[in-house]
Amino acid sequence: MTRMVEDIERVSVGLGERAYDILIGPGLLAGVGEAAAKLGARAVGVVTDETVAGLHLPTVERSLAGAGLAFDTVRVPAGEASKSFDMLARVVDGLLAARIERGDLVLALGGGVVGDLAGFAAAILRRGVRVLQAPTSLLAQVDSSVGGKTGINSPRGKNLIGAFHQPSLVLADTATLDTLPERELRAGYAEVAKYGLIDDPDFFAWLEANPRAVFCAGPDRIRGIATSCRAKAAVVARDERETGDRALLNLGHTFGHALEADVAYDSARLVHGEGVAIGMAMAFRFSAALGLCPEEDAARVERHLSAVGLPIRVSAIPGPIGGAEALFAHMQQDKKVSRGRLTFILARGVGKSFVARDVDPARALDFLRRELAPAA
Give least dist CB 149 to its own copies, A. Answer: 7
Q: Active site includes 250?
A: yes
Q: Does the protein bind its own copies through residue 151 (CB under 8 A)?
A: yes
Output Rg (C-alpha) for the chain, integer angstroms: 20
Q: Which secondary-structure segment (H or E) carries 151?
A: strand 149-154
157 and 127 Cβ atoms separated by less than 8 Å: no
Q: Active site includes 149?
A: yes
Q: Does the protein bind its own copies through residue 123 (CB under 8 A)?
A: yes
Q: What is the DSSP string of 11-25?
A: EEE--GGG-EEEEEE
* Helical H segments across 41-84, by residue range: 50-66
276 and 164 Cβ atoms separated by less than 8 Å: no
Q: Residues 6 or more apart from 260 whose CB is under 8 A from it?
A: 158, 270, 272, 275
Q: x-or-dash pattern for its own copies, window 269-308, by CB under 8 A?
A: ----------------------------------------
Helix, strand or coil for residue 338? strand
**Is 178 annotated in some ligand binding site?**
yes
Q: How far is CA 255 from CA 100, 265, 332, in A?
A: 39, 14, 11
Q: Does the protein bind its own copies through residue 126 (CB under 8 A)?
A: yes
Q: Residues 6 or more apart from 333 whose CB is under 8 A from it?
A: 156, 157, 160, 261
Out of 268, 291, 339, 358, which residue is the one contacting its own copies (CB under 8 A)?
339
Out of 14, 58, 65, 97, which residue is the one contacting its own copies (CB under 8 A)?
97
* Interface of this chain with its own copies, residues 37 to 66, rule: CB under 8 A: 42
* Interface of this chain with its own copies, residues 217 to 246, rule: CB under 8 A: 241
Which of the residues 250, 274, 285, 371 is marked catalytic?
Answer: 250
Q: Looking at 23-31, 87-95, 182-190, 359-367, which segment touches its own copies (CB under 8 A)?
A: 87-95
Q: Active site includes 153?
A: no
Q: Which is nearest to 60 in space by CA: 41, 50, 79, 73? A: 73
**Is 336 annotated in some ligand binding site?**
no
Q: Looking at 31-39, 99-107, 130-138, 351-359, which segment touches its own copies (CB under 8 A)?
A: 99-107
**Is 136 annotated in some ligand binding site?**
yes
Q: At what angle do helices 201-209 and 219-238 cross, to 10 degrees?
A: 160
Out of 154, 179, 210, 306, which residue is the one contacting its own copies (CB under 8 A)?
154
Q: Which is nearest to 35 in space by CA: 23, 47, 26? A: 23
Residue 284, number of CB atoms within 10 A of its CB:
30
**Is 66 annotated in some ligand binding site?**
no
Which of the residues 75, 83, 165, 246 is marked catalytic?
Answer: 246
Largest CA distance in the chain: 62
Q: Active site includes 336?
A: no
Q: Does the protein bind its own copies through residue 183 (CB under 8 A)?
A: no
Q: Which is nearest to 291 in space by CA: 375, 367, 221, 361? A: 367
Out of 79, 164, 205, 220, which residue is the one contacting its own copies (CB under 8 A)?
164
Give least dist CB 363 to its own copies, A. Answer: 22
Nearer to its own copies, 144 or 159 (CB): 159
Nearer to its own copies, 124 or 355 (CB): 124
- How far, in Å, CA of 223 to CA of 225, rounded? 6
Active site residues: 127, 149, 191, 232, 242, 246, 250, 253, 257, 272
Q: Which residues are annotated as a binding site for NAD(+)?
A: 112-116, 136-137, 149, 158, 176-179
The residues binding its own copies (CB under 8 A) are 42, 85, 88-89, 92-93, 96-97, 99, 101-103, 120, 123-128, 149, 151, 154-157, 159-164, 241, 333, 335, 337-340
Q: Which residues are annotated as a binding site for Zn(2+)?
A: 191, 253, 272
Q: Which residues are annotated as a binding site?
A: 112-116, 136-137, 149, 158, 176-179, 191, 253, 272
